[in-house]
Amino acid sequence: MPKKLRVWTADEMMLFLDASQRVLNLTRHFIGFSISAQTGMRMGEVLGLRWSDIDFEGKRIFIRQTLSKIDEDSVYGFVDEGKTDAALRVVYVPDALLSNLRAHHEHILRERAVLADEYLQYDLVVCTKNGNWVHPNNFRRAFKVTVEQLGLPKIRLHDLRHTHATFLLANKVNPKIIQERLGHKNVTVTLNTYSHVLPSMQLEAAGTFDELFKSSDHSGDQ
């Protein structure tokens, strides 16, 4: 039986996303949390995301690399995700996140200008002040502090991904689409992982038949 997931409600997620301006003094990495919550991307995918991987006109992100452990000594590095364009995962992005990304990009460009040749040219969206990649432990720690400051229920950083999927399922998005966004091997993995949402969907399905019968009763009176 799948382990019960800890996720935020839709209201809690919106409270978190709306707090971006209030928490910038706490962490520069809030944009990464927003990406995870609104796309379902894994932490390594978010930390490996480059500006060149974002198609602003097409409103989509190409997941081309991840930040991952590359040896047994817990040394991190970038790992290519797709050898061909056909192998790449593509995630479409809401307008609100695109707007936040544009604003964050302007901030990054200003930092590049200040450091000039000292800026590390990794082209990363989530990065340190000198353009370097962010250690996952520091990213998790920043998320934990942010959640505490906002007074929201404590969840893990990875639970933003679960919150994303649960929200979409609850709003009747096709599970196949959710599977593609999350990068699950097949839709069965998605349905098994988020089985906690299915009972309410079952009730709605039964209710659909109730509405059908009510409509049929009314038509007989005419």
Task: List, for residues 142-197, the tens digit of each pLDDT value.
Answer: 999 999 999 999 999 999 999 999 999 888 899 999 999 999 999 999 988 887 76
pLDDT digits (tens, 9 = 90+) for 99-114: 999 999 999 999 999 9
Chain mean pLDDT for the chain: 87
In a domain, 188, yes or no: yes
pLDDT for 62: 96
pLDDT for 188: 92
In a domain, 85, yes or no: yes
Q: 86 falls in which pLDDT band (50, 70, 90)?
A: low
pLDDT for 77: 94
Query: What's the number of domains the chain is made of?
Result: 1
In a domain, 205, yes or no: yes
Residue 128 structural domain: 10-220
The whole-number average pLDDT for the span 54-64 is 97
The answer to whether 65 and 81 are in contact (CB under 8 A) is: yes
In 3D space, the residue among 30, 59, 58 whose CA is nearest the CA of residue 46 turns out to be: 30
In a domain, 81, yes or no: yes
In a domain, 3, yes or no: no
The whole-number average pLDDT for the span 56-70 is 95
21-30, 91-100, 134-143, 159-168: least confident range = 21-30
Comparing 101 with 22, the larger pLDDT belongs to 101
Cα–Cα dist 65/62, whole Å: 9
Alpha carbon of 166 to those of 34, 159, 169, 219: distances in Å?
Answer: 16, 10, 5, 37
The predicted model scores a pTM of 0.86
In a domain, 2, yes or no: no
Structure token digits, residue 175: 């599970």
pLDDT for 84: 55
The whole-number average pLDDT for the span 86-95 is 87
Top mean-pLDDT range of 19-23, 32-36, 173-177, 193-197:
32-36
pLDDT for 200: 58
In a domain, 1, yes or no: no
The whole-number average pLDDT for the span 108-130 is 96
* pLDDT of residue 123 exceeding 90: yes
* pLDDT of residue 83 exceeding 70: no
In a domain, 4, yes or no: no
* pLDDT of residue 73 exceeding 80: no
pLDDT for 206: 60
pLDDT for 1: 37
pLDDT for 214: 74
Domain containing 56 — which CATH number?
A: 1.10.443.10
